[in-house]
Amino acid sequence: MSQKRDAAIVGIHEYPSRDVEGEVSPLQIKAECAARALEDAGLTWSDVDAIYDSGDGGGMMSGLTIAEYFGLKPDVIDTTGVGGSSFEFHAAHAKRDIAAGRAKVGLLTYGSTAHSNARAIGVGGGAGGGMHPAQNMDAFAGVTLIANYAMVAHRHMHDYGTTGRQLAEISTATRLHAMRNPEAVKAMEDLEFLDIRETTIDDVVNSRMIADPLHLLECCMISDGGGAVVIASSDVARDCATNPVWILGSGEATKYPENGGDITTSAAAQSGPRAFAEAGVTAAEMDIAMIYDSFSITVLALLEDLGFCKKGEGGAWVEGGRLRFDRPQDGPALNTDGGGLSSNHPGMRGIFLLIEAARQLRGESTSQVADASLAVAHGNGGMLGSRHAAGTIILGRD
């Protein structure tokens, strides 16, 4: 099938430390990652004519801050901020801007010191400093972020008979991949994980309960970190230092609380079909699935909504270790860098989904899937059981 190859990921870099101990700022992390990603692509700062920024590290008016900090005067400034899915939105927007002739080289960056700042990401209250009008259906009750996800897990169990042991398959697969990734192992050591090793289903379900039914080993770590992605037009990409990873399709959507709404169905049910249709491929063809893994239930719900299996069948579908990198006949391999559960989660993880998907399609992953040619990167921003955004990107190699 003929697929449009307007834009490709040509440069990537992931900040190696997950515990910076206050030695660098988010902006410094962003700049370091940007420089290394441009170097990876064989490009320079002067080649960049489009900046995509989610507001991390730059504060208010981040488009102005980041352009000045990088010393750039871009033709395109996109400051879409939709939480952890921001970077999938940015990749989609970069593809559109490049296809429209508005830009040649787009730069996506992320930097966070969430761990060093001791941010209570999972257990903090949803209302923050005050009640926002959009939170009137949940924040008044004091629902924490992890309680929201636990509520989705309970509903999925109630409606479909999903079990805790089935959810644990997700954590065991990502930990297997993490133990093959030296940076993930170092992250767990720096963040003082106990008993760092591959885990079993029993390990997961017997770990400490955090928010019933979610256990400790089903919850993402809180780390520092950052990364950068360079996206270029086809004529630029062909002359870059790396093999291009083409953006074949994209989808964007949002979901929010509604009377009678199904909290086990995410916005991916809207963004996924659009992305696959644009790319002319199906979920069944994916070799790699980089899925936002804030919690185990996040992955299960998103796999269903993206079409890997029917709604309610995710528990049975993930059984038996089918998400491991060394089971290509079952496919797809899940979060082969170790994911947010065992590699990094500095608050927003969407950019790392793009980075590891690109690594896989370039043949550079520490849990490399043989002859991987297609990948999906799906970001979820916000809270799964409440208001959130979904960004789906389909990637392919030459």
Q: Kindly report the CATH number assigned to the domain that includes residue 250.
A: 3.40.47.10
pLDDT at 132: 66
CA 93 to CA 391: how far, in whole Å? 11
> DSSP 3-state assignment of 45?
helix
The domain of 366 spans: 7-117+222-397
Tokens representing 116 are: 């060093």
List CB contacts of 382: < 8 A, sequence separation 6 or more.
82, 83, 84, 85, 388, 389
For residue 11, tell me if it sits in a domain.
Answer: yes
- The owner of tokens 């969407």 is 350
pLDDT at 142: 72
Tens digits of residue pLDDT in 216-231: 999 999 999 999 999 9
For residue 308, tell me if it sits in a domain.
Answer: yes
pLDDT at 255: 96
Q: If we measure between CA atoms, which residue out of 69, 80, 63, 5 comes closest to residue 34? A: 69
List CB contacts of 51: < 8 A, sequence separation 6 or more.
63, 66, 67, 70, 72, 74, 76, 77, 78, 106, 107
CA 149 to CA 211: how far, in whole Å? 9
pLDDT at 316: 98
Q: If we measure between CA atoms, which residue out of 107, 75, 54 comes closest to residue 348? A: 54
- Residue numbers of the chain with a pLDDT score lower than 70: 1-2, 58-61, 119-141
Number of domains in the chain: 1
List CB contacts of 292: < 8 A, sequence separation 6 or more.
84, 85, 298, 299, 302, 340, 349, 350, 353, 378, 379, 380
Q: Is 63:50 a contact under the CB 8 Å cutoff?
A: no
Tell me the pairing of strands 333-334 and 374-382.
unpaired
Q: Is the peptide bond before 332 cis (omega within 30 degrees of 0)?
A: yes
For residue 143, tell me if it sits in a domain.
Answer: no
For residue 140, tell me if it sits in a domain.
Answer: no
Tokens representing 169 are: 């398959």
Q: If we measure between CA atoms, which residue out of 3, 153, 159, 6 comes closest to residue 93? A: 6
Tokens representing 364 are: 């550079």
DSSP characters for 204-239? HHTSPEEETTEEGGGB-----EEEEEEEEEHHHHTT
Residue length, the chain? 398
List CB contacts of 12: < 8 A, sequence separation 6 or more.
37, 40, 227, 228, 229, 230, 354, 355, 358, 359
